[in-house]
Chain A
Amino acid sequence: MNYLSILVALPVVGALIVGGLRSATDKLIKQIGLGTALASALVALSMALQFDPNSSSTLQFVEKYDWIPAFGVSFSLGVDGIALVLIVLAAILVPVVMLAGWNEAEGHRGSVRQYVVLTLLTYSMMIDVFAATDVFLFYVFFEAILIPMYFLIGRFGGQRATYAAVKFLLYSLVGGLLMLASLVGLWVVSREQLGAGTFDWETLTTLNIDGGVQNWLFLGFFIAFAIKAPLFPFHTWLPDAAGEATPGNATLLVGVLDKIGTFGMLRYCLPLFPLASAYFTPVVIVLSLVGIIYGALLAIGQSDLKRLIAYTSVSHFGFIALGIFAFTTQGQSGATLYMVNHGFSTAALFLVAGYLMSRRGSRFIEDFGGVAKVAPVLAGTFFLAGLSSLALPGMSSFISEFLVLQGTFTRYPVPAIIATTGIVLAALYILLMIQRTMTGEPTAEVAEKVGEITFREKIAIAPVIAIIIVTGFLPQPLLNIINPAVDRVMTAVTATDPVASEGVSK
């Protein structure tokens, strides 16, 4: 079965139906959108069940169609363990976001129809990006996905939505431009070495690129991904974009879309340019560490819920990049797992914060207080989401954060120690936020406006919370899918784990 084509096509079909039904009511449109998302979630899950982690081939569910044969470009899809878990993440989050943000499209410049169509198109392109095995195809969707996202931020955002959307677009375009230059360079190198130029990822990983050339090509890709992820100092678009977007869009943006950056580092930067990756490792580690601490400190200083969550993500992306560039299996598996867990925990934070903000009609922390007294279940859910973000042991995020730290420590102890201080800052920014919004006596406005969580909201957030807790104790099914893919990356960069120097034989 052509799972990937179906996954890519389903949302497009849904978008076409929604776009074509001129007389449909908003409710019907949202139902069709949710139905499409749920259907493709089922497809994605059944694909995940069919996936064979121990397969000898790098990519599975491979599909390949000619596109521009003259330049060696093909429309080819396929997944390894890393791509698979991210596709499943997207497939679970999109219906959750649609249900949780059922009414969030209303009262904006854009219509509900546009909202649903744009969300479905974004979804389809996300799968394209994660599943593309042709570097050119990846690039095309890497850029194309900006279009629906631009409109989602700009037409459904807050007061400074236009500014945020343009900033998001420009940042991403600058990165994309650098990547395009590297892409052309890569093609030229492949033509020199293979006789005919190609963009096929698996073929490109076999090239022997000269170290100096690798450095330049690496930079083009890496800066694009560092902007996307985002790493310090390319992060300032994120708080603006996530702060202005609706909570649902912010979830998709930070939870899934930004993962393209870190996914790209693991999928493209490392295997394609192993020498350059090693060469730039110190720089990336320093940037990651700065990001971890800097993002956390800025999160502490925020007065706006959505911006706060966005800055926590800057800190978390620092961890992910650190894990990837630690060049250990623990670090990279941990980083991959971190991408998934971060998706879920940020989703929980953004969506529950969205519940709060839609009730109170404000996104500023100072406008809340005492919510726990008037809406204990809502407050409890927010608290759980916060615990997941601060990586409490027993939550899935702990596993990934610890693996990243452990994986970094075995190779780079000092950066790992510095990164570990991030756990204190994480506790601070989450608990300060909880204290300011949830505790104390409720103000008159909070008591009047903030009601208890509704049934729809509960249904939307329950799977996310359940996944966070269950994978906290049973992460191994996910790790079993991720590990072989990470081993391949490790082989591609010819890295091996450090050996315990004072260990006894097991």
Chain B
Amino acid sequence: MHSLLIGLPLLGAAVLLLGGKRTNAWGHYFATAMSIGSFLVGVASFSEMFGLPAEERSIEWTLTEWISVGSFQVPIAFQLDQLSIAFVLLITGVGSLIHVYSIGYMEHDANRRKFFSYLNLFVSAMIVLVLANNYLLLYVGWEGVGLASYLLIGFWQHKPSAATAAKKAFVVNRVGDIGLSLAVMLMFAFFGTVTFAGVNEAADNASEQTATWIGLALLLAACGKSAQFPLQSWLLDAMEGPTPVSALIHAATMVTAGVYLIARSNEIYNIAPTAQLAVVIIGSITYLMGAVIGTAKDDIKKGLAGSTMSQIGLMILAVGLGPIGYVFAIFHLLTHGFFKAGMFLGAGSVMHGMHDDVNMRHYGALRTAMKITYATFGLGFLAIIGIPPFAGFWSKDEIIKVAFSYSPLVGVLTLVGAGVTAFYMTRMMAMTFFGTARWDDDVHPHESPKTMTIPMIILAFGSAFGGMLLLFVADIESWLEPVVGFEHAHHAPDNAILIPVTLAVVAAGAALGWIQYATRDVPRVAPADVSFLTTAARADLYGDAVNEAVFMRPGQYLTRSLVYVDNKVVDGAVNGTAGFVGLVASQLRRLQTGYARSYALMMVLGALVILATAVLVRMS
């Protein structure tokens, strides 16, 4: 039965892709049904699992033998445990909502069937990723979601910018995939196995050096998929895709795969402090980078993308903290899935009402025109900046707490990040829904159809109550503990001090944003005379500029010069040999004058040489 989790969406994708135009009329309903079906199977599996004692909750099943060469044996086998079911529910749940939303959002697109088939493909690949019981099968899901992401970012591929963004996403992800490849190779070379269970078992007597290498390789993989520094640049460009795609793939699910990967490999990281430190550093850098980028973007989707980068940085930071952090990283991942997907859908709804304009400087005062969007986006806003009792508060607060227990420096960083987050989210909220109306006369903002608002309302519920549900009803700490391990943080600051401090920082950030963007006029054109930091943040902190200067330009130069070298040097050596032989031959040809006397002279000379040789040989 559990294979249906993957099978249903895969069937949907296959039917829609192979069926072609015949399925145009009903394809989107079919795909949505397949996604919901998968969700229902997930819910059934969850309720079944919920009734079992903790040690019996993890089940494994093998579909078929996959690769078996010598001692390298990998089956197509899956594992459904407490961690993967959480992801399954998130993927299929949010995924189904976004399928429903897309029915409305993509209504007028000629290629709607294709869009839904790609969405189904994504869902099935993502479930393969989280259900695989070994790293190689995970790799299939890992690149499968990358493929779906490529197809969906480039969905409007007649736009060159979309096609370029899609390619960039895939290529940058491939850089990360080097890490995953190396990790699998290291595991097999040192442990002789690539299954999660086998690797966890082997980690007990593995050397720290091996674990560190594997940990760093996995971190590289996570950096690619989760858009972490230094492989972050693709995520902002990925906003070229349709907004539901940004909500599902580039906010709620795929980009969190890196967090899943590290949490899944917790036994490796637990014995490799260096790798953990690297994870924390990368997470912290991205957390702040994303937040800074978020403060300067006028494009609502790019602003949200910066925020996603930042929030995933926070999760990565948390998984780097070890057993005190894994549970809260996953917790934050789930709540983030709700509120970020909700906000992206809200952004889509705003764009829908604003003729696909994404520039927030052209918005303003939309709260009256789009009441439902305003309310749902607002709940997401409250959740992300961490106002109690909304979802983000519970998860973010726990991460700040364990970060302080790990190191005061990291703790302060997370706190600063929370303040910046509050600032840029307030800015976004204010520029979109408050202040004065700045849209053109021919734009008539209106609320979106029900197929779009209902998923937004459901996700808003998640943003409001998801945190409490997960923490108090589902008891996520003891739920995940058998898989990722859980330790209470020592030396953590007391909630009685930490919560007021955090709230104060958040309030300060929010107030700053409010004063700047709600009470003052927002110019329709972005001002040019801004601080260096703003200029840098608008340029994505020069991530693309560095890539271009360090990799792209030299790379282009290299390929061009290699083409020249191949033609002139490698091939030239061959053609040159041929040319040389021809040249020598044409020179030698001149000896053939045709004069019988010169031939005779040659004969005489030849005879003399032979004679002389004979005489000399006899004399010696």
Contact = CB atoms under 8 A, between A and B. Distances in A.
Contacts of B139: 393
B562 interface: yes
Contacts of A506: 192-193, 198
B50 interface: no
Given A413-B189, A424-B175, A297 B559 contact: yes
Interface string A274-307: 0000000000000000000010011011100000
Given A236-B574, A475-B66, A502-B205, A439 B157 contact: yes
A297 B558 contact: yes
B178 A421 contact: yes
A300 B574 CA distance: 23
A420 interface: yes
Contact of B189 (A376, A387, A410, A421): A410
Interface string A390-409: 00111000110011011101
B158 A370 contact: yes
Interface in B155-208: 157-158, 160, 162-164, 167, 170-171, 174-175, 177-178, 181-182, 184-186, 188-193, 198, 201-202, 204-207
A474 interface: yes
A434 B167 CA distance: 9
Given A392-B143, A440-B163, A427 B170 contact: yes
Contact of B181 (A328, A420, A426): A420
Contacts of A407: 69
Contact of B67 (A167, A399, A503): A399
Interface string A416-442: 110011011011100110110011110
Given A423-B181, A483-B69, A504 B562 contact: no
A67 interface: no
B587 interface: no
B140 A236 contact: no
A106 interface: no
Contact of B142 (A301, A393, A413, A416): A393
A479 interface: yes
A465 to B, nearest CB: 11
B566 A438 contact: no
A373 B160 CA distance: 13
A455 to B, nearest CB: 14
B224 to A, nearest CB: 10
A333 interface: yes
- The B contact surface, by secondary structure, is helix
A500 B188 contact: yes
A504 B185 contact: no
Nearest to A408: B185
Contacts, number: 171
Contact of A431 (B64, B170, B182, B191): B170
Interface in A421-476: 421, 423-424, 426-428, 431-432, 434-435, 438-441, 473-476
A394 B206 CA distance: 31
Interface residues of A, number: 69
B190 A435 contact: no
Among A167, A370, A431, A499, the most chain B Cβ lie within 10 Å of the Cβ of A431
B163 A502 contact: no
Contacts of A402: 136, 181, 184
A502 B204 CA distance: 10
Given A236-B566, A502-B206, A440 B157 contact: yes
Among A302, A413, A502, the most chain B Cβ lie within 10 Å of the Cβ of A502
Interface in A304-334: 328-330, 333-334
A316 B462 CA distance: 49
Contact of B190 (A329, A330, A406, A502): A502
B560 A479 contact: no
Interface string A491-506: 0000001111111101
A500 B190 contact: yes
B123 to A, nearest CB: 15
Contact of B559 (A298, A417, A435): A298
A236 B189 contact: no
A450 to B, nearest CB: 15
Contacts of A236: 566, 570-571, 574
Among B69, B140, B158, the most chain A Cβ lie within 10 Å of the Cβ of B69
A503 B192 contact: yes
Given A233-B570, A236-B570, A409-B185, A330 B72 contact: yes
A500 B205 CA distance: 13
Contacts of B114: 376
Nearest to A337: B69
A372 interface: yes
Nearest to B164: A435
Nearest to B151: A383
B185 A476 contact: no
Nearest to B204: A504
A289 to B, nearest CB: 15
Size bracket, chain B contacts: 35 or more
B65 interface: yes
Nearest to A170: B578
Contacts of B178: 420-421, 423-424
Contacts of B67: 399, 403, 475-476, 479
Nearest to A303: B563
Interface string B133-163: 0001001101110010010001001101011
B171 A503 contact: no
A329 B559 contact: no
A242 to B, nearest CB: 14
Contacts of A424: 171, 174-175, 177-178
B188 to A, nearest CB: 6
Contacts of A377: 20
A244 to B, nearest CB: 14
A499 B191 CA distance: 9
A387 B148 CA distance: 12
B69 A498 contact: no
Interface in B109-143: 114, 136, 139-140, 142-143
B68 interface: yes
A438 B154 CA distance: 11
A427 B178 CA distance: 12
Contacts of B144: 393-394
B154 to A, nearest CB: 7
Contacts of B66: 473-476
B239 to A, nearest CB: 17
A171 B158 CA distance: 44
A499 B150 CA distance: 39
B205 A504 contact: yes
B70 A301 contact: no
B76 interface: yes
Interface in B551-601: 555, 558-560, 562-563, 566, 570-571, 574
Interface of A: 167, 171, 232-233, 235-236, 294, 297-298, 300-302, 328-330, 333-334, 370, 372-373, 376-377, 380, 387, 392-394, 398-399, 402-403, 405-407, 409-410, 413, 416-417, 420-421, 423-424, 426-428, 431-432, 434-435, 438-441, 473-476, 479, 483, 497-504, 506
17 contacts: A370-B158, A380-B17, A387-B147, A392-B143, A420-B182, A423-B178, A428-B171, A431-B167, A439-B160, A473-B66, A473-B76, A474-B64, A476-B65, A502-B207, A502-B210, A503-B192, A504-B201
Given A167-B574, A504-B202, 19 more contacts: A232-B570, A235-B570, A294-B562, A392-B143, A393-B143, A394-B144, A399-B67, A407-B69, A409-B185, A409-B188, A413-B185, A424-B175, A439-B158, A474-B64, A479-B69, A497-B71, A504-B192, A506-B192, A506-B198
